[in-house]
A and B are shown apart, each in its own frame.
Chain A
Amino acid sequence: MFPDNQTSQRTGYQQRQLSDRSIQWLFITPTLILLALFNIFPLFYSLYLSFTDFSAIGTAAPVWVGFKNFSTLLNDPQIWKYFATTGRFAFLSVGLQTVLGFALAMLLREKFRGSGLITTLILIPMMLSPVVVGFFWKSIFNPSSGIFNYALGYFHPASAPGPSWLDSSSRALWAVVIVDVWMWTPFVMLLCLSGLNAIPDYLYEAAAIDRASAWFQFWRITLPQVLPLLMIAVLFRTIEAFKSFDLVMGMTGGGPGDSTELVAVNLFRIAFEGQWRTSYASALAYIVLVIIMAISNVYIRNLNKVRGEG
């Protein structure tokens, strides 16, 4: 009686488990197919292409050339210049975003009337499309009709013109940095804010009892407690900065000259302008990927170190 009962229970359980599994597969399979088709296949196909000579608009089949694309790229001083520009852009914009985002988070940390509304308003820029942002900042930077110079105090553009921004090879990168900072500071702020809100009040009570000044509390409690989240924000923003394309494309198209020609912009040009050098572009894309992975690795290692201490 008893063993019988057990067996029937077990078979019932097995049947249900089987059907559970088939349902799981039913849900997962379409996603897997799409992933394989649009992510995994292109990933490996582009890796293959980077070792060939091939143009997507040509009629010739890919011809295996080994490391030729890579050696050409790595020996091209122009490419290194674009990397340097990208590095400068990333350093400036991520640096400013970190400082400003953290400062804003400190301000919004204390709840006051309307602080929720203000937080939401501050978050709006990062919800906009980068291309749209690029286009309307282009108008804002316009020396004769834009509001940017007006805000800086140049009220009569006809008689006393202010500095030109997007047409100046020395200022164009700064203009892009300003817009990127405007757009992505809220993201850093958001992460910092959640980090700040997670610091328990009793740490500050203990610090007050321990006779720590506000400054001492900031350096010894607030900053180390927020650091893990702050580093995640910096990591995300750095990766994004290395991939920056749409904003720059909308604002300057890489110009004037090549003063804002970021790697991603140049990559686009190689791949989809002129002769469509698909295999050469694939090789460049892989170089960018390796660099991003290297930077991320350094970050994540430091992050784990900070976390381990926390």
Chain B
Amino acid sequence: MAQIELKQVAKKFGDVYAVQPMDLTIQDGEFVALLGPSGCGKTTTLRMISGLEAVSSGQILIDGQDVTWNHPSARDIAFVFQFFALYPHMTVRQNIAFTLEAQKVPKAQVEKRVFDVARLLQIEHLLRLRPKALSGGDRQRVTLARALVRHPKAFLMDEPLGALDADFRATMRAEIKRLHLAQHATTVYVTHDQIEAMAMSDRIVIMSNARVQQIGTPAQVYYDPANLFVARFIGSPGMNLVKGRYTNGMVQLPGANQLPLPERWQAAIANQLSSEDVVLGFRPEAAKISADGVLNTQVYASALHGAYAMLHLALDGEKGETMTHVRAAKNTIYPIGTPLRFDLDPQMVRFFDPKTELALTLA
């Protein structure tokens, strides 16, 4: 397994950047997800690492060796395609053996390795079938087998579960994660599904508009989003973002609400904010409903999510323009229109500069 390094790698189609120059180092054995909405450049990045797409500028290193202009076959990486890309005229066995036969591995060894990987993925009974006779999940297992049989330096996966139905996705997610741990395989995983990225990755690279927005662990991107895009994109619903004005240690919020600032934030805000405008951010679970809470709202809607209820609270009361999502106990009933007060966990509030859209940081 190997370390992958991207140095100022960029891709341009004509005058338009598909991927702005980016730096990224993926450690040996690490599982990194490239996460973002469609068209953000994540698949292009993956294809550049694989060599299926040429870079416009920058360098790609695998184990310290410059492979920027190497053919995909010279990089010794495996690629799992979104729509499987199995060879339709070959049996499952031939599909898996293809890469070994292409490298003239002795026949007996091919048989053994194909059988071993088939047993690992529990597809021994499918070896004689052709891809079109398989279900989506089994096809995905075959593509994984085809990647695993070779012991490549790294696995690149392009939305490998995108074509599967929701039920099955959770199962395959767990299978891929277990395979990753068992094989200690450096893996780059493209997805637009944040749950997938959060559940599987060691680190997540969040991309939008051809640009890297944040690189961090799942906890980092969830609790400390680097900017408004990440705050909105991660979590469902995303982070509550409320526009306000900062004056004298207080944030003035809609509906005549005032949030006294935790002390540790006061200096940071005073130093970093370019004007009085500020955006308050907090996760739904950061709010604590209490009769003497500082923020005064009105219940706009409530939805039971099973283990908890998600309340839609209007900060500006009747007008209902500034909506926040707050998590509440599942067994209390909150009729629509009821006034409701809540407090915020001071550890879990975040602030953003609306001009730069960047998060403010504590010194």
Q: In the complex, which residues 138-160 of chain B have their Cβ closer than 8 Å to any Cβ of chain A?
A: 146, 150
Q: With contacts A210-B98, A211-B103, A220-B98 known, is A202 near B71, CB below 8 A?
A: no
Bound form: Cα–Cα A207–B81 in Å: 12
Question: Which of A205, A209, A224, A310 gathers the greatest number of chain B CB atoms within 10 Å?
Answer: A209
Bound form: Cα–Cα A205–B98 in Å: 13
Does residue B208 face the partner (Cβ distance < 8 Å to A)? no
Establish whether residues A203 and B85, one from each chain, have CB atoms under 8 Å apart when the complex forms: yes
Does residue A225 face the partner (Cβ distance < 8 Å to B)? yes
Does residue A216 face the partner (Cβ distance < 8 Å to B)? yes
Establish whether residues B87 and A206, one from each chain, have CB atoms under 8 Å apart when the complex forms: yes
Q: Determine the residue in chain A with the shortest Cβ distance to B94.
A: A220
Cβ-defined partner of B52 (8 Å) among A203, A208, A220, A224: A208
Bound form: Cα–Cα A119–B85 in Å: 30
Establish whether residues B89 and A210, one from each chain, have CB atoms under 8 Å apart when the complex forms: no
Establish whether residues A208 and B72, one from each chain, have CB atoms under 8 Å apart when the complex forms: yes
Establish whether residues A211 and B85, one from each chain, have CB atoms under 8 Å apart when the complex forms: no
Residues of chain A lying within 8 A (CB to CB) of residue B79: 205-206, 209
Establish whether residues B83 and A202, one from each chain, have CB atoms under 8 Å apart when the complex forms: yes
Does residue A103 face the partner (Cβ distance < 8 Å to B)? no
Bound form: Cα–Cα A210–B74 in Å: 10
Q: Determine the residue in chain B with the shortest Cβ distance to A224.
A: B89
Q: Determine the residue in chain B with the shortest Cβ distance to A210.
A: B99
Distance (whole angstroms) from the CB of A221 to the closest CB of chain B: 7
Cβ-defined partner of B73 (8 Å) among A203, A211, A225: A211
Establish whether residues A213 and B88, one from each chain, have CB atoms under 8 Å apart when the complex forms: no
Establish whether residues A209 and B102, one from each chain, have CB atoms under 8 Å apart when the complex forms: no
Does residue B78 face the partner (Cβ distance < 8 Å to A)? yes
Q: With contacts A209-B73, A210-B146, A212-B73 known, is A202 near B102, CB below 8 A?
A: no
Residues of chain A lying within 8 A (CB to CB) of residue B90: 220
Q: Determine the residue in chain B with the shortest Cβ distance to A208.
A: B72
Q: In the complex, which residues 209-249 of chain B have their Cβ closer than 8 Å to any Cβ of chain A?
A: none
Bound form: Cα–Cα A225–B130 in Å: 14
Interface size class of A (residues with CB under 8 A): 10 to 19
Residues of chain A lying within 8 A (CB to CB) of residue B187: none
Establish whether residues B102 and A203, one from each chain, have CB atoms under 8 Å apart when the complex forms: no
Cβ-defined partner of A221 (8 Å) among B51, B76, B87: B87
Establish whether residues A211 and B81, one from each chain, have CB atoms under 8 Å apart when the complex forms: no
Establish whether residues A209 and B130, one from each chain, have CB atoms under 8 Å apart when the complex forms: no
Distance (whole angstroms) from the CB of A51 to the closest CB of chain B: 48
Cβ-defined partner of A203 (8 Å) among B87, B101, B103, B146: B87
Does residue A309 face the partner (Cβ distance < 8 Å to B)? yes
Cβ-defined partner of A208 (8 Å) among B73, B87, B89, B103: B73
Residues of chain A lying within 8 A (CB to CB) of residue B52: 205, 208-209
Bound form: Cα–Cα A224–B51 in Å: 26
Does residue B200 face the partner (Cβ distance < 8 Å to A)? no
Distance (whole angstroms) from the CB of A142 to the closest CB of chain B: 49
Distance (whole angstroms) from the CB of B54 to the closest CB of chain A: 13
Distance (whole angstroms) from the CB of A141 to the closest CB of chain B: 43
Does residue B77 face the partner (Cβ distance < 8 Å to A)? yes
Does residue B194 face the partner (Cβ distance < 8 Å to A)? no
Residues of chain B lying within 8 A (CB to CB) of residue A202: 81, 83, 85
Establish whether residues A210 and B81, one from each chain, have CB atoms under 8 Å apart when the complex forms: no
Bound form: Cα–Cα A196–B293 in Å: 70
Mark contacts of A195-206 with chain B using CB atoms, 8 A cut-off: 1 yes-contact digit, 0 otherwise: 000000011011
Bound form: Cα–Cα A171–B177 in Å: 70
Q: In the complex, which residues 83-127 of chain B have their Cβ closer than 8 Å to any Cβ of chain A?
A: 83, 85-90, 98-99, 101-103
Cβ-defined partner of A209 (8 Å) among B50, B86, B103: B50
Bound form: Cα–Cα A284–B71 in Å: 61
Residues of chain B lying within 8 A (CB to CB) of residue A309: 89, 130
Bound form: Cα–Cα A174–B72 in Å: 47
Bound form: Cα–Cα A205–B79 in Å: 9
Residues of chain A lying within 8 A (CB to CB) of residue B76: 211
Bound form: Cα–Cα A59–B142 in Å: 76
Establish whether residues A210 and B102, one from each chain, have CB atoms under 8 Å apart when the complex forms: yes
Q: Determine the residue in chain B with the shortest Cβ distance to A213.
A: B102
**A-B contact list, 28 entries, CB within 8 Å:** A202-B83, A203-B87, A205-B52, A205-B79, A206-B81, A206-B85, A206-B87, A208-B73, A209-B50, A209-B52, A209-B73, A209-B78, A209-B79, A210-B99, A210-B102, A211-B102, A211-B103, A212-B73, A212-B99, A220-B87, A220-B90, A220-B98, A221-B87, A224-B89, A225-B89, A309-B130, A310-B88, A310-B89
Top 10 A-B pairs, shortest CB-CB distance: A210-B99, A212-B102, A211-B73, A206-B85, A208-B72, A202-B85, A209-B79, A224-B89, A310-B89, A216-B102
**Contacts A208-B72, A209-B78, A220-B102 supplied; 7 other A-B pairs, CB < 8 Å:** A202-B85, A205-B52, A205-B79, A209-B52, A210-B150, A220-B87, A310-B89
Residues of A within 8 A of B (CB): 202-203, 205-213, 216, 220-221, 224-225, 309-310
